[in-house]
Amino acid sequence: MNVTWKGVYPAITTKFNENDEIDYEAYEKGLQGQLDAGVDGIIVSGSLGEASTLSDQEKLDLTEHTVKYVNGKVPVIFSIAEQSTKVAVYLAEKALEKGASGLMILPPLRYSSSVEETIQYFATIAERTPLPIIIYNNPVDYKTTVTLDMFAELSKFDNIQAVKESTRDISNVTRMINRFGDRFKILCGVDPLALESLFMGADGWVAGLVDAFPKETVAIYRLAKAGRYEEALSIYRWFLPLLELDIDPKLVQNIKLAEVYTELGTENVRAPRLPLSGKNRERVIKVIEDSLATRPELPEGSWGRRETVLA
């Protein structure tokens, strides 16, 4: 399925049951909420999906299940966050077999790769797969920066098409556009910088709180792209306390707790993670409950079927 790298791409959470197995019934309910809201793609087995605790087989099974469930409505993007090039290539090949439409790839984990090694890592994967690729650039959390010069080197690979921009430097959107034009699609990967990034020219949003609030996320994106800035900004200001739950070491637990409140998921996490407790849990619950108490009415046509066009 064609990937445009535009719109809202949820980094979907992985649901678990009480036996620490993937809860596909709860997972499908969450997926359906995203599809009903009109998202433009689904990203599986990312960091928000607790990929570091999933086996390779679980990642691939989850991908296959997602592809079958969405049934061509939106592309399914498989996330690769590995330590070795060999394993990354293997998973890229298997993801293609399972029906994934694209790949989201982080730089090598744990080992701090040099510029040359990082470029070669991405290049090797790109050479071994026909799937389109979005590079996840997140030096804050993963300590490796993919610089503009590195993107220039990687631009010779046609299937490296986009960047998940998570440097937290909002000016980097402009730097990418100034240097590369539309060669690389730019998707914001930091929830509390999403509207700012869209205003600066970003093409999309790889979102986290969308898992609990899909309609609001899609509405902000569509309103911003339709030039209805005041309406987008009004929803975004309401949304910001929730969006800030995404830039927290406990983002998985935060977002899963929010999913419980909006009936789109469960709170179960896989160890070593534990559910929120104590004052931190009280703080997050207050943010969620305060936000639900003032949840805005969304403009007609700002969410729903992807072909909806705002007037």
22-40, pLDDT tens digit by residue? Answer: 999 999 999 999 999 999 9
Residue 138 amino acid letter: N
pLDDT for the residue numbered 139? 93
120-165, pLDDT tens digit by residue? Answer: 999 999 999 999 999 999 999 888 999 999 999 999 999 999 999 9
Phi-psi region of 102 (alpha: psi -120 to 50; beta: other; left: phi over 0): beta
**DSSP tag of 106:** P
Pair 277, 257: CB distance under 8 Å: no
Confidence category of residue 1, pLDDT binned at 50, 70, 90:
confident
* 76-80, strands of its sheet edge to edge: 7-10, 204-207, 185-188, 160-165, 133-137, 102-105, 76-80, 42-44
Domain locations in the chain as residue ranges: 7-293
Neighbouring C-beta atoms of residue 186, cutoff 10 Å: 26
248-261, pLDDT tens digit by residue? Answer: 999 999 999 999 99
Fold of 7-293: TIM Barrel (3.20.20)
CA 190, CA 206: separation in Å to the nearest integer? 8
Closest to 253 (Cα-Cα) out of 234, 235, 268: 268
pLDDT for the residue numbered 306? 66
pLDDT over 90 percentage in the chain: 95
pLDDT for the residue numbered 111? 87
